[in-house]
Amino acid sequence: MEISLGKTIQIYLPDGNPRSLKVAEITSRTVQAILVPRSRLDFAYQRNELENVGIYFLIGNPDDEIKPLLYVGEAEDVSIRLKQQNKAKDFWNTAIAIISKTKYFTKTHIKFLEWYCHEEAKKAGRYKMENASIPSKPYTLEPIQADLLDNFESIRILTSTLGFPIFDPIIKPKKKDVLICKGMGIQAEGEYTEDGFVVFANSTAKIKETKTIGSWISKLRSKLIEEGILAEEKDVYRFTQNHIFSSPSGAAGTILGRSANGWELWKYSNGKTLSEVIRSDNAQD
């Protein structure tokens, strides 16, 4: 029997504002994550934590992008590097810096973590990577790699706790928990999650759009095609990867090529709709 171990995470608010700077740590670990809204950079520069060797993530969600954007970097002084990136890059509105409370990290450590974090974020597929040059893997002794992979687990937990599941893969649930949306000649599988509605890779969607599709669904489909997430295959579009929609209706509309109520059209294997299971006062698992 697999035992799931709990974690105690401390989040400190330096100015008492829950929407401002956050300093997070697993109480039994040495890795610390500092979340910095771009609008609070001046305040963040006053913090000693950022005057440290570390890695950092720049995160943004422009309106014209299908996925949020992510840049992974490293610095011998994170504070100085964030000042540089504030001038150099426009897309981001949040930074998360990762440092060691014991000042354990060296240049080799952060180069390895930069490479590994970039690889794992790319695998998870939740963000569009913004690194112009791909970080390379440095030579690192095996015992050090083992320690750094342990550090990475703390990084994964802390970033997700702070609201950015950068490294959490989208895992297809058991068959009974999968939702189905069908149309003439197409079928899609999905799941309603805490992040939105996930449509799984290999699901199919209609090519032809109805006149009543609505501009936002039509634009969304065009962007998914442009990004290669929807690829034409014979007489259907096929999802080339898992994709998170903001709503069940956005997902259903994209698949059916028309305006659609996803709460009624997504159904479980027992025939119940998503609405019956999630929104009904008498809903049961």
163: exposed, middle or buried (C-beta count within 10 Å: 0-12, 13-18, 19+)? exposed
Task: Indicate whether 267 belongs to any domain.
Answer: yes
Q: Are residues 124 and 195 in the same domain?
A: no
Q: What local confidence, expressed as pLDDT, does residue 235 receive?
A: 94
Q: Which of 204, 163, 185 is nearest to 9 (CA)?
A: 163
Q: Are residues 156 and 193 in the same domain?
A: no
Q: Are residues 147 and 179 in the same domain?
A: no
Q: What is the rounded distance in angstroms from the CA atom of residue 69 to the CA atom of residue 90?
A: 11
Q: Per-residue pLDDT tens for 113-125?
A: 999 999 999 999 9
Q: Domain count of the chain?
A: 2
Q: Yes or no: say if 145 and 112 are a contact pair by the CB < 8 Å rule.
A: yes
Task: Indicate whether 263 belongs to any domain.
Answer: yes
Minimum mean pLDDT among 17-26, 62-71, 222-231: which range? 62-71
List the structure tokens of 165: 């599941």
Q: What is the rounded distance in angstroms from the CA atom of residue 147 to the CA atom of residue 51?
A: 23
Q: Which residues, at least 6 apart from 49, have a Cβ–Cβ distance to it below 8 Å?
A: 23, 32, 34, 97, 99
Q: What angle do CA 129, 135, 137 make, to 5 degrees?
A: 135
Q: What is the rounded distance in angstroms from the CA atom of residue 146 to the CA atom of residue 66?
A: 35
Task: Indicate whether 148 belongs to any domain.
Answer: yes
Q: Are residues 120 and 187 in the same domain?
A: no
Please say which residue of 134, 161, 188 terminates a domain.
161
Task: Indicate whether 225 belongs to any domain.
Answer: yes
Reported as a pLDDT band with limits 50, 70 and 90, residue 258 is: very high
Q: What are residue 237's DSSP bridge partners?
A: 205, 232
Please say which residue of 161, 192, 225 terminates a domain.
161
Q: Are residues 149 and 64 in the same domain?
A: yes
Q: What local confidence, expressed as pLDDT, does residue 6 receive?
A: 85
List the structure tokens of 122: 């790319």
Q: Are residues 49 and 93 in the same domain?
A: yes
Task: Indicate whether 68 belongs to any domain.
Answer: yes
Task: Indicate whether 249 belongs to any domain.
Answer: yes
Task: Indicate whether 167 belongs to any domain.
Answer: no
Q: What local confidence, expressed as pLDDT, does residue 78 receive?
A: 97
Q: What is the rounded distance in angstroms from the CA atom of residue 204 to the CA atom of residue 183?
A: 10
Q: Per-residue pLDDT tens for 228-255?
A: 999 999 899 999 999 999 999 999 999 9
Q: Are residues 262 and 235 in the same domain?
A: yes
Please say which residue of 135, 161, 187 terminates a domain.
161
List the structure tokens of 192: 């309603």
Note the pTM of the prediction, 2 decimals.
0.86
Q: What are residue 12's DSSP bridge partners?
A: 23
Question: Residue 199 sits in which domain range?
Answer: 175-278
Query: DSSP class of residue 174?
Result: -
Q: What angle do CA 257, 259, 263 make, to 5 degrees?
A: 110
